[in-house]
Amino acid sequence: MELASKFSEIKELLSVDNGKFDLDQVIFDWPEERKLAVVNKVLNFINNFYMFKELKPFMNSVYICIKKTLEIQTEDIDDYDELLVKNSIMRFVQEYITYSNLSQKEEILNFLAGSLGKLQLQPLIINLGLLLKPMYSDQEYLNKIKDYEEIEVSYILNDENEIRIKKEIDKWLETQHISLDNQDEIRIKLIEVYDKLVGYFKLSMNSEIYSKLLKEVKEMLAMRVTVLSLMDSVDESFEPVPIRRM
């Protein structure tokens, strides 16, 4: 009963329609004690977004991020605290860059770099939310992405094969333990995976589309590494590891 009540609270806070709420299914096979612990973490995380409760598209994006995070298996349940923060910031960065057609990439990264080392989580989310609010209020943009809930919004300007390749790359990246120390190793593996997908979809490696897509999938990794670097900058006990050129 307690768990059902908490799921109802999550659904209400995120304004998720009945037919679309399936967070309970994501953790269906978990032990009850673990379910309750992670649901409490999710509620604490959602409360950081309370001031944006009426901005339904924003809260929907938060919900998608929570679902994707809980699909990641961890031994230590406390890891979800960090994963929820990192994955949400990653998604918001991707959405904002897509919305601004990549032309304002430096603006969002500069914002994060300037904020992460100075602000606690809630003020950071408030500032980030205010930056994203015009995007989530732009009906033309929302209409454009409404059918792409489970596909990263940065894919919507590409043709069908490009979407499939980038979706597979995104799935692969989600399974990798990416760190600042192993970024070079991951980049090499990324190119190998990309080349296999290009062969599968029968794209020419000498074509313009090959070079264009290669640049974009490298940017997908670079964005993840960048956010990791910015997040790690909060911990002043370690020297920052530089992000190497892709």
Residue 85, SS3 per DSSP: helix
Rounded Cα–Cα distance for residues 180 and 224 (Å):
10
Element (DSSP H or E) covering residue 196: helix 183-200
Task: Report the pLDDT value the prediction gives residue 40, as an integer from 0 to 100.
Answer: 95
What is the domain partition of the chain in residue ranges? 1-153, 158-246
What string of pLDDT tens digits covers the 246 residues of the chain? 688 899 999 999 998 887 889 999 999 999 999 999 999 999 999 998 988 988 998 998 899 889 989 988 888 999 898 888 888 887 787 777 777 664 456 666 666 666 655 667 777 777 778 878 888 888 888 887 765 554 454 454 456 788 788 888 988 887 888 887 888 999 999 999 999 999 998 888 888 889 988 988 888 887 777 666 655 554 433 333 333 434
Distance between first and last Cα of the chain: 50
Rounded Cα–Cα distance for residues 193 and 139 (Å):
36
Query: What is the identity of the amino acid at 79?
Result: D
Task: Report the pLDDT value the prediction gives residue 170, as an integer from 0 to 100.
Answer: 82
- Work out the widest C-alpha separation in the chain, in whole angstroms: 59
Residue that has been written with the tokens 């904020």 in this structure: 115
Judge whether 87 and 231 are in contact, CB under 8 Å: no
Helices marked H in the chain: 2-14, 23-26, 32-47, 56-70, 79-99, 105-116, 121-136, 139-145, 160-175, 183-200, 208-232
Judge whether 133 and 121 are in contact, CB under 8 Å: no
Rounded Cα–Cα distance for residues 1 and 209 (Å):
53
3-state helix, strand, coil in the chain (%, to 5): 70, 0, 30
Q: pTM (2 decimals)? A: 0.64
- Tokens linked to 225: 């590494």
DSSP code per residue over 127-176: HHHHHHHHHHT-HHHHHHHTT-TTS-GGGTTS-HHHHHHHHHHHHHHHHS
